[in-house]
Amino acid sequence: MATGRLPDHEQRILDELERALRRDRRLDRRLRTLRLHRRPDLSRVSRYRPHVVTVGFLLAVSIALLVTGIVTSRIAVIWAFAGVWPLALFAVFRLVCRWTER
């Protein structure tokens, strides 16, 4: 591969492509926010500060799914409860941590 300067017409084409790419704001935003992590960013999880309303809603949904799963024994309801319940417990834990750190 040649390491010399590009011919003028190829350099103009390359310059025009670069100008077009710089004007593309969506591409610029995606490239700026693109981050490759090997591990999940746990600092975001530790900064989660749920509101009382959110925790109450998650607990209400969890209890409703629990009761519905017990009454109907439908597998979809049981799996929905299994998905919502850990989120509710984590939100309660973060809320209690926030209340006790003051």
pLDDT digits (tens, 9 = 90+) for 53-82: 999 999 999 999 999 999 999 999 999 999
pLDDT above 60 for 10: yes
Does residue 19 belong to any structural domain of this protein?
no
Residue 94: domain span? 45-100
> pLDDT tens for residues 13-61?
999 998 888 888 888 888 778 766 677 677 777 778 889 999 999 999 9
- Number of structural domains found in the chain: 1
Alpha carbon dihedral 17, 20, 24, 29, in 10-degree steps, equals: 40
**Whole-number pLDDT of residue 39:** 74
DSSP string, 44-93: HHHT----HHHHHHHHHHHHHHHHHHHHH--HHHHHHHHHHHHHHHHHHH
Residue 86 has pLDDT above 80, yes or no: yes
Q: pLDDT at residue 83 above 80?
A: yes
- Let me know if residue 4 belongs to a domain: no
Residue 79 lies in a domain: yes
In a domain? residue 52: yes
Question: Domain for residue 7, yes or no?
Answer: no
Q: Which residue has the higher pLDDT, 92 or 31?
A: 92
